Structures are given as structure tokens and as C-alpha cells.
Chain A
Amino acid sequence: MTALLRANVKEAAGSLFAARQRSLLALIGIAVGVGSVIAMISVGAIVREEALRQFRELGTDALSIRIGRSAPVTASEAFGLSALPGIAAAAPFMSSPGEISLAGRASEDVTIIGAPAALADLDKLRVASGRRISDLDHRRYFCVVGARVAATLREAGFERIVGETVRMGGAVYTVVGVLERLPRGMRRYDPDRSVFIPISTASRALPRPQIRHVSAHMSPGAHHVATTREVVDYFRRAAPGRKVHVRSAEQLIEQMYKQMRLFALLLGSLGSISLLVGGIGVMNVMLVSVTERRSEIGIRRAFGARRADIQSQFLVESVVLSLVGGLVGIAAGIGGTWGICSFSGWTFDFSLAAVGLGMGVATASGVFFGFYPAWQAARLDPVAALRGT
């Protein structure tokens, strides 16, 4: 039986190659279908992994609070947040769009963050060189630049960033530190494209020195929903009706999973439609193949092939066709995943499970769409088949 199977596979490859133009069309459909299924699974897993990695950075107990423009909070109000039972630590910060320029030779749009020293701890802002902003830098024009900003300055020909003076909004700052390259994660700003200055300096230097952001960490064991309510209530005590948005890591994870399901649904429907189209293509190729090879079927029957043998021969053929499509699809799926990852700045990864799934999907569609043509072949009247009519 295995020898017969082997002969069938060989025969299938030969006959599909003989009809390669027709086979190619069916193959493309299967390939796109399998490719999108694989991309769906892989991108889903990668995004999940990527997001978790980012959350792991800040910790799942991180809270990010934003206050509405109409009623910004005072510094003492913001620092008072840490007195709440659900909050372990809090750091308010000012944020303003700005432009940094270095001796007129390089300039870049940045976000200027005026923050207390505590923000670096809460938001895990690690320095690559130099030092952080300290609370001892009170009202001084010192700054720490993000990795991307530093790169721009370096491109302008400055080997040493720390110690250079830069200009922002009419004031001159001395760079005291450069941050490591950091993912945005759930921060309200992109650390790579930000410049950090002391909050006391910011309140004098920024055009609109308002505290509208607070980064906080929850106390151990605090639940994010309850803590969110606590925070909102706290800020509304001073100003009823104030807009308070609280974003928690857990809430974000929930959101992300919801988004992931939507994403999966989208790629899943694309995949299944392509598989359907490809499958119909396979069925078409096989039906034509059965018609063209009627006399071969008759000959095989004359020398002892059972209906079941004919059926399995044609099933093998459609599975071989689908598997070739599947292999191309696996390559396309992995390639597509790689493309999406490099475009989005995610870490590329692919699992063998996705490859297995691709092969499985291809085989299943081969069997499913090959069944009817194979059945047609098997029930051909051998006498009519031999006559070739």
C-alpha cells in the first residue's frame, strides 16, 4: 500500500507538472490562504509578546494619568496622590512640544518633559551615558535627551553629546545625560524623542507650564479598577467635573487582547476566503484532470484498480497540489510576518507550530476540495472510460 502511495505521489507530481499552468493558479489561492493564516497566527503571537515585553518594562502595576486641559493640577495636588492607599508612588510631569537645536547645525522636533527625579524611576528611564536629572538641579537649565534625539545630534557631527549646549524655546540647556533606546510602552510620550528637564525649570521655561500628566505605580495587591476610581475621585475633589483619564497596564492588556481578536478575525476571514478560492481552483484542476485522464482511469481499472484505489490516487494528487501551495504559503506567511515586523519595529519570530498549522490547513483543503473530483473519478464506468468517452 505504501508503494502504491509512493507511486501515486510520483504520478501526481508528474501530472500536475504536465498541467502546470492550471496548477499554478490553484496553487496561488492556496498559498495566499495559507500565508495569511500563518501571518495571522505569527503576527498575533509577536504583537502579544512585544506588548508583554513592553509592559514588563514598566511593570503591570503602572498607571498613567492624564488630566483634561481645562483644569490642570497643582504640583502639591499631584504629589499628594501617593497618599492614596492604592498608589505606591507618583510623579507628575509637564509636557510640551518643542524644537531642539544644537548650535544651529541640527534641529529636531521633540517632546519637552518637565519632571521630578522620581519620573525616571517610575518610567524606568535608564541613562546610557551621563546622569539623570536630579532634584538638586532645581531651576537649572540641564537636560537629558532621548536616544533618537542624541542620534540626530551625533549625526550633526558632535561626538560627545553630554556637556554640549543645546537651545530649546529661547533658552540654552546643558546636556547632562543620554537615555538608552527605550520602547514607548504605555508611556504618554516617546522617550527616544523626548528631552527631560527639571520640573522647576519647566514651570518657568515652558510657554504653558501645566501639570497634566502623572505617572504612578499601584500599591502591591491593589486592583486597577478600584485604584482608577480612587484616582478619579481624588482629582475631582478639588475640581468637580475635571476630566481625568487613567490608563492601567492591565486595562491596556485587556484592550490589546480585544484588538488582537479583531486582528485575528480580519486575517482569518482573508485566509478563509483565499483558501476557498484556492480550494475551488484545486477542485477545478482536479475535475479537468479527471476528464482528461478518463482512459488512464479505465486502464488502471482494467488491471485491477479498485474504485478506492482511483479515489485515493486523485486525492493524493489534490493533496500534493495543495501542499505545494502550502509550502509557498508558509514561505509567504513567514516573509509577510517578517515584513510587518520590520515595518512596525517588532522583534521577528516564527513558530514551528505555524508551519505545522500551514501544512495542516493545506492538507485539509486538498482533501476537502479534492474529494468530489476523486469521487467522480472513482465512479466512472470503466468501459466508458476506456473508450475515452
Chain B
Amino acid sequence: MSRGAGSGAGDAMLSLVDIRRSYVTGPVATEILRGVRLEVNRGDLLSITGPSGCGKSTLMNIIGLLDRPSAGVLRIKGQETGAMDDRELSALRNRSIGFVFQSYHLLPRFSAWENVALPLVYRGMTGASVRRRALEMLDKVGMAERAGHRPGELSGGQSQRVAIARALAGGPDILLADEPTGALDTETGGGIMGLIAGLNATERLTAVIITHDREIARQCARRVRMRDGTLNEAPARGGGSGR
């Protein structure tokens, strides 16, 4: 794979070289990822599409440092992650990755702002600054007025906005979204995508979005398609140099 359009080599947020992942069940080894290459640069808005079972989620888990590849090299901001232990991986995940899940995954007993504060807490931040930062993030996604509400009191779209605020609270290098609009109706989903695209445009937020929704994928400047454990990148919009 070539680099994304219009970015210098020093801005590589994410680099995957020949990533493989296989699962062994009994005597059979199933290879889900068969040599994935991908480079994501600062400010990229990239979608990954593909049929279900093609390995999208496995890839996302590996990028998000929740899973380790069986082979290959994964670098985040130039840091080789293969030899890292749990402590280092957790710290890197906390600093560099902001997850958004299809089913929001908010903690039900926590209020909206407490959910948003989660990455800050694991960073060791304490006191009033945590709350201030969380409220700032909620404001950014238009949820400031719901800061004290629990997830059960929020609609799907509102929950996903809170989840995005949480993903952004730690100032991650990459927003990693797995079907962020999958549980929402088209209009609400469009709003969520608009929020991510807007942050990408205004703050150069780097985002990788896994989706099966063509409409969502179309709003991304870079689109890669996954099939049988490998990636193919569509030509970049506006005649860029990407494949």
C-alpha cells in the first residue's frame, strides 16, 4: 500500500506491515488476516468496508492494541508495538487510541461525564480538571446539557455522541470507530458521521471507520476494502495518489 494522499512520512500515525492473524481451533488453523499493509497519516479519514467475517473487526482489535498479530509489524506513531508488555500497551492504548463501538459501550452506572472521564482516570488525572475536561468534550459533541444523565436516559444518537466524547477525551492520535452508525437510523447515523467528518476537517482528527454503510464510506477521503484477509484501497477522491 502506498501512503495516503498529501501527507509526509513523518506524520504516519499508524503503520501495518504484513500483519497476519490466525486462530487455532483444534488441529485447524484459520488465517483471518493474510498480510495486511496499511499506513494512516495525520488527518486521514479512512473507511474500511467489507463483507461480514472478512476480518474487519480482527483488524480493528489489532490496530486498537486489544489483540496481537500472529506475525507482522504494527507501529503507532513510529513506535514498534510487538515487544511491548501489558503495561506499555495499556498506556499506549490510553494515549493513542480512541474507541467508538457500534453498541456505544457506555458504563451504565456512570453518568455521561463520568463515562467521558474514563480515559483520563486511567491516565492518573485527578481532581476538578477531569470533570472540566470531560465537560469540554461533551460540549464539543453537543451533549453538555446531558452531562449528568446516565446512559439509560439517553437516546442512541446521544449515547454515541457521549461515546465519541469519551474517545476524544484523552486526545488520541487515532479515532477508531467500529460500525459507529450501525445501531442508529439513517438520519441519526448521518449526524454522527457528520460529527466525525467535521472534527476531521476542523481539527485534523485522524479517524479509521469500519462500516458496511456505503453512504458513510463515501464521506471518507480514503476508502479501503477488505476481502479474504487483505486490503485494497480505492482511488482517493479528487484524483489523489492513493491506490
Interface residues of B (CB under 8 A from A): 61, 64, 66-67, 86-87, 90-91, 93-95, 97, 99, 101, 105, 107, 109, 118-119, 121-127, 130, 166, 170
Q: Which among B61, B94, B130 is the interface contact of A303 at CB below 8 angstroms?
A: B94
Q: Does A7 contact B (CB under 8 A)?
A: yes
| CA distance in complex: A3, B97 (Å) | 23
Given A4-B124, A7-B121, A386-B66: A304 and B101 interface contact (C-beta under 8 Å): no
Given A11-B109, A299-B105, A383-B61: A304 and B94 interface contact (C-beta under 8 Å): yes
Give the Cβ gap from B32 to chain A, nearest Cβ, in Å.
12
9 A-B residue pairings within 8 Å (CB atoms): A1-B124, A11-B109, A302-B99, A303-B119, A303-B166, A304-B90, A304-B91, A304-B170, A306-B91
User: Which residue, of B90, B109, B127, B130, has the highest number of chain A Cβ atoms within 10 A?
Assistant: B90
Q: Does A174 contact B (CB under 8 A)?
A: no
Given A1-B124, A3-B121: A302 and B64 interface contact (C-beta under 8 Å): yes
Given A304-B94, A306-B90, A386-B66: A299 and B122 interface contact (C-beta under 8 Å): no
Q: Does A15 contact B (CB under 8 A)?
A: yes
Give the Cβ gap from A286 to chain B, nearest Cβ, in Å.
17
User: Which residue, of A11, A15, A302, has the highest number of chain B Cβ atoms within 10 A?
Assistant: A302
| CA distance in complex: A307, B90 (Å) | 8
Give the Cβ gap from A9 to chain B, nearest Cβ, in Å.
13
Give the Cβ gap from A377 to chain B, nearest Cβ, in Å.
14
Query: Is there contact, CB below 8 Å, between A304 and B93?
Result: yes
When C-beta atoms are compared, the residue in chain B nearest to A17 turns out to be B109
Query: Is there contact, CB below 8 Å, between A303 and B118?
Result: yes
A 154-183 to B, binary, CB cutoff 8 A, 1 in contact else 0? 000000000000000000000000000000
Give the chain B neighbours of A299 by CB distance below 8 A.
105, 107, 118
Give the chain A neighbours of B61 by CB distance below 8 A.
383
Query: Is there contact, CB below 8 Å, between A386 and B122?
Result: no
Query: Is there contact, CB below 8 Å, between B86 and A303?
Result: no
| CA distance in complex: A269, B202 (Å) | 69
Query: Is there contact, CB below 8 Å, between B90 and A300?
Result: no
Q: Which chain A residues (281-333) contact chain B, with CB distance < 8 Å?
A: 295-296, 298-309
A 377-389 to B, binary, CB cutoff 8 A, 1 in contact else 0? 0000011001000
Query: Is there contact, CB below 8 Å, between B105 and A295?
Result: yes
What is the interface size of chain A, counting residues whose CB is below 8 A from a CB of the partner? 26
Give the chain A neighbours of B127 by CB distance below 8 A.
3
User: Which residue, of A295, A303, A386, has the highest number of chain B Cβ atoms within 10 A?
Assistant: A303
Given A3-B127, A383-B61, A386-B66: A304 and B105 interface contact (C-beta under 8 Å): no
Q: Does A18 contact B (CB under 8 A)?
A: yes
Query: Is there contact, CB below 8 Å, between A306 and B87?
Result: yes
Q: Which chain A residues (356-389) contact chain B, with CB distance < 8 Å?
A: 382-383, 386
Query: Is there contact, CB below 8 Å, between A386 and B126?
Result: no
Give the chain B neighbours of A383 by CB distance below 8 A.
61, 66-67
Query: Is there contact, CB below 8 Å, between A301 and B90?
Result: yes
Q: Does A14 contact B (CB under 8 A)?
A: yes
Known A7-B121, A302-B93, A307-B86; further 8 A-B contacts with Cβ < 8 A: A14-B109, A296-B107, A298-B105, A300-B118, A300-B122, A303-B122, A304-B123, A306-B122
Q: Does A2 contact B (CB under 8 A)?
A: yes
User: Which residue, of A2, A14, A304, has the highest number of chain B Cβ atoms within 10 A?
Assistant: A304
Query: Is there contact, CB below 8 Å, between B66 and A382?
Result: yes
Q: Which among A15, A295, A309 is the interface contact of B122 at CB below 8 angstroms?
A: A309
Give the chain B neighbours of A304 by CB distance below 8 A.
90-91, 93-95, 119, 122-123, 170
Give the chain A neighbours of B67 by CB distance below 8 A.
382-383
A 106-139 to B, binary, CB cutoff 8 A, 1 in contact else 0? 0000000000000000000000000000000000
| CA distance in complex: A1, B125 (Å) | 9
| CA distance in complex: A382, B66 (Å) | 6
| CA distance in complex: A302, B91 (Å) | 11
Given A299-B105, A301-B90, A302-B99: A3 and B122 interface contact (C-beta under 8 Å): no
